[in-house]
Structure 1
Amino acid sequence: PEYLAVNWEASGGGAFAVIPLDERGKVPDVIPLFRGHTATVLDTDWHPFNDRVIASASDDGKVMIWQVPLGFSLLTDAEEPADVAPSARLSGHSRKVGQVLFNPAAENILASASGDLTIKLWDISTGSAVHTLKHPDIVQSLSWNADGTMLATTSRDKKLRMWDVRQERPAHESPGHEGAKNSRAVWLGEHNRVATTGFSKMSDRQLALWEPGNPNPIGGFTVLDSISGVCMPFWDDGCNCLYLAGKGDGNIRYFEYENDKFEFLSEYKSPDPQRGIAFVPKRGVNVHENEVMRAYKTVNDTYIEPISFTVPRRAETFQSDIYPPCVGSKPAVSAEEWTAGKSGVPSKIDFESIYEGNAPVEVTVDYKLPAPIPAPAPASIPAPQKVPEPTHAPASIRSSSIKEQQGSMIALASKYEDKHDDVEEPSSFDEISKLPQRSAMPARFEPKASSPTKTTSAPLPQPASPIKSLFSEPTPMTSAPVRTESPIGSGPVVETALDQIKVLLETQTKMLSAQSHHIERLTAEVDSLKKRVGSASPDQSERIRQLELELEEMRS
């Protein structure tokens, strides 16, 4: 990417500015603007395969296509630099156009959403609308899937819709966030999932993950905080990270998507609220600085600040684990092919070739959109298993119950039972699996605030360290089950074991008989004392109480 577009307040309205990314510092007092709209510009979007083409939407109901002139610069010697005129005007909406979004796979296909309750799909090379989607209410956000065949929308009627755009009908529709404020949706790249941000009835900001065809969010709605600003989601397909930037606050949270849930990594915090924010395409990051994402935010309408998200590593070689191949600058299909029903995912480029300073090398893509999965039934959470704790040997020997004695005898007999086959038996101890260990040096994922275009701005605070590693997964350490061979003895060994069992039986029989006689004696003594003593003295009452306690203990 070479340029950054910013909505600009100018006399007469209907203008926006394009700023070259390599021109930093204070901009001149008078700069060339992109003029053509007769009302405020509401949205802009860069062409994914041509860094010099940009589309704009305005309050005047028009969609315009612009081309940045060759050698465009803000630093000119002219007293009144010439403004740039649009290269094409797309007319068809009857009310204001709030969103424009290029198809990420097909060349020159643009979606525009209007207050006239329609979404039009344009072929900007011909200037004609190839499809029109009739939406029940005002659209609040748009997001394409990876191959450009489905379009996710959120709207004022609090519903999430996923459109089959070439059939001009919603393939899936489900209730979304219940709050009255705006909600946003973003398709998670090549995953068959959609993330949404919105508000609850109590005006709490929420995050949700959706599967097409499932009317309920996976894992329900997650409450983020109670800030009133709309949360804008951005997806990084290379690192499987979701960035949430709040409008009106200076914080940017980022999460890692894994196993159908978002794991919080860390948060970039700044005292300066952002009025607007944009993220560069993945192919625009600096691989030599271990930069995985970069954003630009407007601060108080006075300057634009770049925010760099980097992985702090000291390696001097290419980091392939944080730089998988990303979408390049060549479309998968042309506009005519896409309109005819053909689809695909654009070819990807290898970051290693860019790291070495060579031209980007294309990598083949084998992508198939996963089929919708039926809504899973809610799984019951298993009760945690209790780990047996070691017990200390008692000081005094306590008589066992009859059931315990029978169990010990059966266990002893089965231990010396003859075996007819050499089969190993597992250990009698419960095997406790080891927990997966974390990697010794997890890769932290921290944003780094670059110097803004305004030279007087102070550096922003660095965020806290993330909770978990972003790019390295903990390697589970497994151990083989411990097995012990049970002794298989011959005839004399078995006879010795039987003799031991007989001795144990005789000992237990004598013990039970002695206990029974003792219980009978105590019972008789307690009964006789109760009969002879009507009003007992304190010493006698104490003696009776002690005998009763001893009797109860013997019975137990």
Structure 2
Amino acid sequence: MPLALLQLLTRSTVADLPSGVHLSLQILGRGRKEGREEILAARLERTVDVCSLRRPQQHCDYSVTKDTGKMSWRPTYRSSKFRNVYGKVGNREHCFDGVPITKNVHDNHFCAVNSTFLAVVTESAGGGSFIVIPVSQCGRLDSHYPKVCGHQGNVLDIKWNPFFENIIASCSEDTSVRIWEIPEGGLRRNMTEAVLELYGHSRRVGVIEWHPTSSAILFSAGYDYKVLIWNLEIGEPVKMIDCHTDVILSMSFNTDGSLLATSCKDKKLRVIEPRSGAVLQQASCKNHRVNRVVFLGNMKRLLTTGFSRWNTRQIALWDQEDLSMPIMEEDIDGLSGLLFPFYDADTHMLYLAGKGDGNIRYFEITTEKPFLQYLMEFRSPAPQKGLGVMPKHGLDVGACEVYRFYKLVTLKGLIEPISMIVPRRSDTYQEDLYPMTAGTEPALSASEWLSGINRDPVLMSLKEGYQRPNQLVFKAPVKEKKSVVVNGIDLLENVPPRTENELLRMFFRQQDELRRLKEELTTKDVRIRQLELELNNLKNVSPNNV
């Protein structure tokens, strides 16, 4: 009888069994049949275990049928139109090759993209710089391509203005934030003069963020533990948020920009009212060390990435009105690279990309349990240093492209686009994939936002195409550069070397300068002797004529 039961079970498909269920059978037979029964039971149990590992986690519904009175198991599948999203790497002719990508170890993307330009922080000596390339100008980059090189220290972050595609902000180790206006068609020569030079931090500035609804409000976070709010219409800091006790790692705004979330090195997550600087909510993350935080659109939720107490990479979901405990925590893997979160509010998709990894995981976020639905994973052998994200109005809607990354591969000096595509048979406009999205028109002026007005972003439809707005013109004068003099040396003018290679480069540069000055001095000495001889000849000739 037990042997017949085992044979009946082995004929049934393993898909009818729930994942992760171990089948335990009691062997009642005796004699020769006992060995065969144990072998069949072991094979069946092993088959079930293997299938449970390959199958993604599903929510089970157990019910008892009226006819047989037996318990049946039904997996409840959640229908999603993004279940089959896949990543497509651009062809070689659509990549950017020969780019001297920075080797700075600062945890940032070092890349910013809009529908017109691609900006990348580059490796350079004697100050920080970044390049600006038109998105349509693919291929190999000239080694003498012009750069934006006005900073005296390494550039740590760059961000395009979300409303004006020729305006970019940068921050640096020289404690300054600068606003640049890129000419039409890109750079033709090195740019050293910024439209605005903003000084207010006492230490280097690591993170900058544009306000999501006002084109003239910029936030900067420095290593002096302060967040400064800049009004670019006057070129001055108008507010200061001084509630952090350590280095600020990341900043994120909600949809209308009325709330600011920050993650800090003091292991605390904060939700701040930016105009008053009041901390509305605060979480002490002991079990989940927060590195990055992002608002999840209008869901009133926050998502953070970090590490657990066992040093596994982890994500956590929070209620923005109650940070006493995370709603959900999920371990990702045991790698050590920082996890960068990217959230698409239009599709409610979350992308996770690890620094130094070659893969990008993506999930769908819901308001009901389990809140996070795993979709798929894009894999690549080349590790990524950072990622830039194309705004929605720059996507190819005809190809059903819902997201596009620009991946920095430092070892190859390569920047390759990665398109996230929803497979559809029709190439017509898919309205369910592209709802009304945040447009390129600011909803508020700087003075309106500072007065306390909140307004949602001005929405636009991608079906009608994208119309580029006029350039933003800053009327504020360029601010005078401050000087920090130590032992007679201006540290902002002459940034001291930090590594042996930088010290050697500075030494050889000074040797060349000394050699040039000696040659110039020798030339001037010869010229002085010639003039002295001519003067003596004139003096001798004058008496004879008399």
Q: Which deviations, in whole Å up to 9, do the C-alpha atoms of 1:22-61 show, x marking residues without a partner?
A: 0000000111111111111001111010111111111111
8 Å CA contact 1:93, 1:114 repeated in 2: yes
**2:223 alignment partner in structure 1:** 115
Residue number among 109, 117, 120 corresponding to 1:3 in the alignment? 117
Q: For 2:138 and 2:215, how far apart are their aligned partners in 1?
A: 32
Q: For 2:191 and 2:182, how far apart are their aligned partners in 1?
A: 11
Q: How many angstroms does 1:220 deviate by?
A: 3.0
1:58 paired to 2:203: no
**1:269 alignment partner in structure 2:** 379
Q: For 1:4 and 1:315, how far apart are their aligned partners in 2?
A: 30
Letter in 2 for 1:297: K
1:312 paired to 2:434: no
Letter in 1 for 2:359: N
Within a 5 Å distance, the mapping from 1:113-152 to structure 2 comes to 113-134=221-242, 135-152=244-261
Q: How many angstroms does 1:347 deviate by?
A: 1.1
1:349 paired to 2:460: yes
Q: For 1:86 and 1:190, how far apart are their aligned partners in 2?
A: 36
Q: For 2:376 and 2:395, how far apart are their aligned partners in 1?
A: 20
Q: For 1:189 and 1:220, how far apart are their aligned partners in 2?
A: 18
Question: Which TM-score applies when normalising by structure 2?
Answer: 0.62
1:165 paired to 2:279: no
8 Å CA contact 2:303, 2:318 repeated in 1: yes
Q: Which deviations, in whole Å up to 9, do the C-alpha atoms of 1:385-428 show, x marking residues without a partner?
A: xxxxxxxxxxxxxxxxxxxxxxxxxxxxxxxxxxxxxxxxxxxx
Within a 5 Å distance, the mapping from 1:90-489 to structure 2 comes to 90-134=198-242, 135-176=244-285, 178=287, 183-260=291-368, 261-301=371-411, 302-354=413-465
Q: Which deviations, in whole Å up to 9, do the C-alpha atoms of 1:75-118 show, x marking residues without a partner?
A: x6xxxx33342111110000010000000112211110011110
Letter in 2 for 1:38: Q
* SS state at 2:463 partner: helix
Letter in 2 for 1:163: I
Q: For 1:325 and 1:316, how far apart are their aligned partners in 2?
A: 19
* SS state at 1:337 partner: helix
* SS state at 1:294 partner: strand
Letter in 2 for 1:141: S
Ranked by relative contact order (alpha carbons within 8 Å, sequence separation 6 or more), the top structure is 2
* SS state at 1:353 partner: coil
8 Å CA contact 1:34, 1:86 repeated in 2: no
Q: For 1:85 and 1:236, how far apart are their aligned partners in 2?
A: 35
Q: How many angstroms does 1:192 deviate by?
A: 1.1
Q: For 2:226 and 2:326, how far apart are their aligned partners in 1?
A: 29
Letter in 2 for 1:295: F
Q: For 1:178 and 1:43, how far apart are their aligned partners in 2?
A: 29
Q: How many angstroms does 1:71 deviate by?
A: 2.2
Q: Which runs of 5+ in 1 are unaligned?
A: 362-556
The alignment's C-alpha RMSD in Å is 1.7
Q: For 1:177 and 1:251, how far apart are their aligned partners in 2?
A: 28
Question: Which TM-score applies when normalising by structure 1?
Answer: 0.61
**CA separation of 1:68/1:359 partners in 2, compared to 1, >3 Å: closer, same or farther?**
closer
**2:52 alignment partner in structure 1:** none
Letter in 2 for 1:280: M
Q: How many angstroms does 1:262 deviate by?
A: 1.4
Letter in 1 for 2:394: G
**1:416 alignment partner in structure 2:** none
How many residues are matched? Answer: 351
Letter in 2 for 1:169: A
Q: How many angstroms does 1:360 deviate by?
A: 9.2
8 Å CA contact 2:399, 2:427 repeated in 1: no
Q: For 1:178 and 1:106, how far apart are their aligned partners in 2?
A: 36
**2:69 alignment partner in structure 1:** none
* SS state at 1:34 partner: coil
Q: For 2:282 and 2:132, how far apart are their aligned partners in 1?
A: 37
Q: For 1:136 and 1:30, how far apart are their aligned partners in 2?
A: 43
* SS state at 1:324 partner: coil
Q: For 1:218 and 1:11, how far apart are their aligned partners in 2?
A: 44
Q: How many angstroms does 1:282 deviate by?
A: 1.5
Q: For 2:279 and 2:257, how far apart are their aligned partners in 1?
A: 15
Letter in 1 for 2:432: D
* SS state at 1:307 partner: strand
1:82 paired to 2:223: no
Q: How many angstroms does 1:168 deviate by?
A: 1.0
Letter in 2 for 1:331: P
* SS state at 2:215 partner: coil
Q: For 1:183 and 1:333, how far apart are their aligned partners in 2?
A: 31
Q: How many angstroms does 1:13 deviate by?
A: 2.3
